[in-house]
Structure 1
Amino acid sequence: MRRTPLIPALCCAVLISSVAIADGIDYSTEPQVPALLQRLRIDDHFSEAELQQVTLALADARRLPQLIVQEQKAPERTETWTQYSRRIDDSRIRDGVALLHEQRDVLERAENEFGVPPSLILGILGIETRYGRITGGVRVLDALATQGFEHPTRNVFFFGELADFFALCRDRGFDPRTPTGSYAGAMGDAQFMPSNYRKLALDYDGDGKTDLWSLPDAIGSIANYFTHYAPDWAWRRGEPIAIPATLTNGVLPAGAVVNSRDNFYLAGDLRRAGVQPSVPLPDDTQLGIIDLALDDGSHEYWLAFPNFYSVMTYNPRIYYAMAVTQLAQRIEAAAALSP
């Protein structure tokens, strides 16, 4: 299923965008451009003709400073859990169950090959793009040029992604002026940044193209991501993600560290300290504590297994990982009740 076909790269020069001229910005003249070209020349063996095409594309890039504001005010950073959790809605659950049936063979193949369950892949697709319906309408070139040259705190990251984007376009035969994505330059149903697109995207439907706007390719690529992106947090086949917990005394144990990837506790110690998991666990099970503050002043507590922190490699925010987790669980429960 492909909604945004990618057009092969053009060999001819293009005119500088009227938008860029009106804004007074020509990114091809930025002081960092020589470093970008040198990086592409050395790391990715760009020819001088290919580097000239990069310069022409940068001249066509639009300056969109509002994207920096969007990145800084991303909802997983600025919303409360009460607000963010509204994404775990009936329509996403219903559509996730429908997609589970529609793509069952692909999802089962991904689980067999990588150990990543269908419900988690659907949780990612549901939170990221509503299963491929909303993949972003910003030109990736504009997003990464703006963020890479002008972001006040993350310009180094986005500059690297801009370089990977040009290499991706060269290697895949994309015109860099064509792909669209998020305000941060993430692409396709899986919302991969260019570096991950290059390293981890798969041709999972066997059509000879690695196309993350194709659901089968996105499904296989997500499973591949969780297996290979971060070896220390690689997905653990057959293990859970997170379970609810209650506090016997209504308060967390003194000194307990919550919402951290660096602090794990033994299930037996937690029970003795008044943190009760929703299902029985062996005493030596290692768990993190998740504390979700609600708008009414109450708290929702969960116990996180290592796989929860694997989900956080996709987006390092607790709310994001918890939304994916709970959506995955709700899809799995709904699917078990559906014919």
Structure 2
Amino acid sequence: MRILSTLFALGCLGILAGCGSTSTRDAPNSAYRAIPASATANVSGDFAGSPGVSAFIQRMERQGFPPNRTAAIISGAQRKQSIIDLMDRQAPSRKTGPNGAWTRYRAKFLTDQSIDNGVSFWRRNEAALSRAASRYGVPPEYIVAIIGVETRYGGFVGKTRIIDALSTLSFAYPRRADYFSGELENFLIMTRDEGLDPFAPQGSFAGAMGLCQFMPSSFHDYAVDHTGDGHRDLWNPGDAIGSVANYFARHGWQPGEPVAVRARVSSPGTAEAMKAGFKSSYSLGELSSRGISPVGSVGRTGQVSLIRLDARGGYEYWIGLKNFYVITRYNHSNYYAMAVYQLAQAIRARKGGPSGTRISSTR
């Protein structure tokens, strides 16, 4: 399973565009439904004759989509060069030595306004968050922080038509065509099962959807009807809240356990030479033998990870626990997971209630 965030290691701030959540139901552009069953499966428009289109139509036929219907949908999709250009800009740059990248990244999310908006979102959705916490064991602050980092609490859900994004990346972007054609398949299944016009939903340029920016495969695997209205609607805060909580729970969230603990390092040179990141694995005893110890309680844990953040003035070290790793399943980035963790703690502290691990200020 992947979502938009797993595609881009440093998250999606500044890439997503648009405003607030909007309804995706009963949209006007449903002309493809009127095509008679006897119509031929000819594709017109921007993707006529594109590689992979015929195979995709056959693929969708196995999912119960008549070929003429799939052809009509693809004919109505638009090729967007801007999407291809944005994808080509995502290659990570190589950096050597500390340059304050974490400090800059953190500053995008840990602002007074973002924290205040998180508290407001929590208060507006208190009932849905409480039910999600009770059902899935995920504290409200982490659900809120994910939605805050992903879409500014629903303020920036994207304005690209999902059908255009996924069709462009399936049929005009060979490097990732296999992956995105699978997402396009899941998207069309979603629109059929949820009664949506496939031309209506809007999201990110890579096809991520709703307040929580699930890719269609994530919708298939993890989206839930948390509001009880019979639909899974990621543009609805209630369903987005439940879906994030379900995602975390399904990836092994440990209720009541900490996420990360600041590390005390007695030998910076030794720590700098060690493998770090959410994929690293150490026992506390091994870290201790190298002069690295947790500042606070790590809870019930076995192996831990060493997290090295490129903070202004030098490296900053944390010990990542199981729940930190779970956050990285949403986005495979140490910075992303730490931003979610620290934003969650800040929102909880400002709203009032147990604050968890104290956040040390970044240098």
TM-score class, shorter: 0.7 to 0.9
> Does 2:325 match 1:309?
yes
User: What's the counterpart of residue 187 of structure 1?
Assistant: 209
CA distance in 1 between partners of 2:299 and 2:197 (Å): 54
Aligned pairs (5 A) from 1:284-323: 285-294=302-311, 296=312, 298-323=314-339
Deviations 1:206-256 (A, max 9, x none): 22221111101100011111222xxxx421222111122231123344752
- Structure 2 counterpart of 1:36: 56
Q: Say which is worse superposed, 247-256 or 53-62, in terms of deviation.
A: 247-256
Which of 95, 104, 119 aligns to 1:83? It is 104
With over 3 angstroms needed to count, the CA separation of the structure-2 counterparts of 1:319 and 1:68, relative to structure 1, is: farther
1:207/1:78 CA distance change after superposition, 3 Å: farther
User: What is the CA RMSD across the aligned residues, in angstroms?
Assistant: 2.8
TM-fit CA distance, 1:190: 1.0
Q: Corresponding residue for 1:268?
A: 285
Distance 1:260 1:64, change over 3 A: same
Is 1:59 the counterpart of 2:59? The answer is no
Q: Which is worse superposed, 218-227 or 24-33?
A: 24-33
**Shift in CA distance, 135/177, structure 1 to aligned 2, threshold 3 Å:** same
Which residue is 1:19 aligned to? none
1 CA distance for matches of 2:218 and 2:86?
A: 22
Partner of 1:257: 275
Gaps of 5+ in 1: 16-23
**Matched residue SS, 2:240:** helix
- What's 2:263 paired with? 245
Deviations 1:20-66 (A, max 9, x none): xxxx9621432311221222222xx3242xx3222112122221122
Tell me by how many angstroms 1:13 deviates. Answer: 6.7
User: Per the alignment, do residues 70 and 210 of structure 1 end up closer, same or farther by CA in structure 2, a change over 3 Å counting?
Assistant: same
Distance 1:76 1:31 in 2: 28
Check the 8 A contact 1:201/1:210 in 2, yes or no. yes
Q: Which runs of 5+ in 2 are unaligned?
A: 1-19, 36-43, 96-100, 355-363
Q: In the aligned structure 2, how far is the partner of 1:287 from the partner of 1:14?
A: 57
The answer as to whether partners of 1:268 and 1:283 remain within 8 angstroms in 2 is no
- Comparing both chains, which one has the higher relative contact order based on Cα–Cα distances under 8 Å and sequence gaps of 6 or more? 2
Q: Normalising by the residue count of structure 2, what TM-score does the alignment of the two structures yield?
A: 0.80
| CA–CA distance in structure 2, aligned partners of residues 243 and 124 of structure 1 | 19
Candidates 324, 327, 336, aligned match of 2:340: 324
User: What CA distance in whole angstroms lies between the structure 2 residues aligned with 1:333 and 1:251?
Assistant: 34
Asked if 1 retains the 8 angstrom alpha-carbon contact of 2:21 and 2:210, the reply is no
TM-score by length of 1: 0.85
> What aligned pairs does 1:1-339 form with structure 2 within 5 A after superposition?
3-7=22-26, 10-12=30-32, 26-42=46-62, 45-48=63-66, 51-74=67-90, 80-86=101-107, 87-228=109-250, 233-253=251-271, 256-261=274-279, 263-281=280-298, 285-294=302-311, 296=312, 298-336=314-352
Distance 2:209 2:58 in 1: 25
Are the aligned partners of 1:241 and 1:308 in contact in 2 as well (CA < 8 Å)? yes
Conservation of the 8 A alpha-carbon contact between 2:188 and 2:198: yes
Moved more, 243-252 or 88-97: 243-252
Deviates more, 1:155-164 or 1:99-108: 99-108
Output the CA distance in 2 between the equivalents of 1:14 and 1:282: 59
Q: Matched residues in 2 for 1:201 and 1:281: separation?
A: 31
Would the alpha carbon gap of residues 209 and 276 (structure 1) be closer, same or farther in structure 2, given more than 3 Å must change? same
Identity %: 36
Task: Give the match's secondary structure for 1:192.
Answer: coil
Are the equivalent residues in 2 in contact too, given 1:77–1:317 (CA < 8 A)? Answer: no
How many corresponding residue pairs? 320
Instruction: Please tell me whether the aligned partners of residues 76 and 317 of structure 1 are also in contact (alpha carbons under 8 angstroms).
Output: no
